[in-house]
Each structure stands twice: as C-alpha cells, then as structure tokens.
Amino acid sequence: MELAYYPGCSLKQSSSLYDRQMRLVMERLGVTLKELDDWNCCGATSAGKTDDFLSIAMPARNLGIAAGSGQSELVIPCSACYSRTLVAKHYLEADREIKETINLGLSKKIVSDVKVLSILEVLLGLIESGELARQLVFKPKGLRPACYYGCMLTRFPFPVPVPDDVENPRGMERILEAMDLHPLEWNCKTSCCGASSAVTDPEVSYGLMAKIIRDALARGANCLVTTCPMCQMNLDAYQDEVCAKHGISERLPTYFITEIVGVAMGMGIKPLEIDRHFVDGTKLLEELERYESEQ
C-alpha cells in the first residue's frame, strides 16, 4: 500500500523521532510513505489566530501537491497539521471563490480530492486487514497506558466529519486492545494541555497539564500515549516543572503511539529513538521486556 505523507515542521526538527518511528513502523507494516514534494508549513494554530487567509492558503498548497501526487490518501501524523489541513479543506469546499483565487496562484492546483487520514485511521486499517496482528512479537502486558488525544484530533472549529467520538474517542484504545494491551478509561483524554501557552503562559498550561497527569496517575496509569508532537513535547519537556509546581511525585513517560506499536513489533528502543524523551521512557519498556521473557 502507498500513502502520500505530510510530516510537517515538528517531525523534521524537535520531534524527528516521530518521523523516524512513523517510517520504520509503516515500512514493517507494508505501507510505503511518499513524502509530499516540497511541502510547506501548515501555519498551525498560529495562522488561525492571526491570519485567516494564510490559515487556508498554507495547507491549500500542500493539498495541491497531494492532488498531483497520484495518491488518493494523505496521512498526517501530527495532530495540529492534520487538524489545520482538514479545516482548510472545509473552507475550500465551502467557498468556491477562495478556492479559485488560491488555485490561480498555485503551480500544483487542487484538482482532485485527496482524503486526509490521521495516523490512527491508518493503523486501524492495518488492524482490520490483519497486517498488524501478523507482525506482533511482543506484548508489553504490564503497560497501563492512558491514551491522550488532546484537542486537535477530534475537535474542530467547524462541523468537520471525524472518524471518532468527539467526547470519548476510542481509536487509540482500539489499536492498543488489538495488541492485547489494556488501556485505561480516564477523564482527561480530550483535555487541553495548553499548547503554545506552555511557552507563553506557563501558569495556565502547567495547571492544565497537572490535571491530566493527576487523573492518569489516579487511575493507575504508568504511561501516557499520544499522537500529537505538541502534546508530547509539552507533557514530556515540562513534566518535571509541572509536577514540582503541583506537588506530584510520580512521573509518566509520554509515548508516541508509534513507539508502542514499534516495540510490540519487536523493534528496539534504540532504532525507534525512544531514548530521546525528557521523562525517561526506556526503563519501563525494558522492565516489561525482561518480565515477559522470564514468563
């Protein structure tokens, strides 16, 4: 299977581990990722807050490139890029005039409709086809993950059709359950981590993150799992400070979904670059591996 692939800026920089994991995991599962040629920044939430036109035009150019790529589906693992691209698509479909104006300026025009997929949709498809089950070699059964979706996978400023429940999404849980793991039910899976306010207004975002970490711990979680590089960065890089400020003594490794899937397919911690977390994520996985091999 081939999919067009939009990594976005984070996956090329501070979250390059996610890009690497994405490629390794998809290759193992028989999916060839075709990175969009000369893609540009989607504008993220910043364009939405400062310039409505750019928030459409920036993802629109990528949609044009995707339309010319010959692929019918485009996977966007970053939740923010996924969300902004879907929102731009919504606008372009609703407003012919803006679509025509933008198309006139693009060298690769939006001539066909490319379906935008989240990483969860891709993985769920691979579960349905049985491909994932064929590749599983290791069940880290002691993992007690709390699946954290954040805002951007399910909540949009417009009625955008999303393939999961808005209040209680279960895509990530379904993937982990298919791997025989037992994700927890908890209260904060779609809470907001504060996004860029971790940088601009730490008090607000640390309070939001403390709520998330506290609830996960209270349910007995030993890690968080996410798909969003922004959420991962916030909950990982600032966790020590958040916990110190809010009197929380435990820590929770915050994994990308690709790390759990990768480990379960027997890919090592090193090749998956799981050693690049702020809150160590290697010890827990190594312990589970040892425990399983002793059984």
Distance separating alpha carbons of residues 235 and 228, to the nearest angstrom: 11
Q: Is 189 in the site for another protein (CB under 8 A)?
A: no
Name residues contacting another protein, limited to 200-229 (CB under 8 A): 200-201, 203-205, 207-208
User: Which CB sits closer to another protein, 72 or 101?
Assistant: 101
Of 24-32, 148-156, 264-272, 286-294: span binding another protein (CB under 8 A): 148-156
DSSP letters for 128-151:
HTTHHHHH-----TT--EEE--TT
93: helix, coil or strand?
helix
CB of 118 to another protein, least distance (A): 16
What type of residue is 133?
Answer: A
Q: Is 105 in the site for another protein (CB under 8 A)?
A: yes
CB of 92 to another protein, least distance (A): 13
The answer for residues whose C-beta is within 8 angstroms of residue 173's C-beta and 6 or more apart is 147, 183
* Dihedral pair phi/psi, residue 131, rounded to 5°: -65, -45
CB 206 within 8 A of CB 245: yes
Q: Return the residue of 29, 33, 44, 272 that touches another protein, per CB under 8 A.
A: 44
Question: Count of alpha carbons within 13 Å of 13, Cβ hemisphere only?
Answer: 6
CB of 93 to another protein, least distance (A): 14
Q: Return the residue of 71, 135, 187, 197 that touches another protein, per CB under 8 A.
A: 197
Six token digits for residue 159: 């009625």
For another protein, the binding residues (CB under 8 A) are: 9-10, 12-17, 38-41, 43-54, 57-58, 61, 101-102, 105-107, 151, 155-159, 166-167, 190-192, 194-197, 199-201, 203-205, 207-208, 237, 276-278
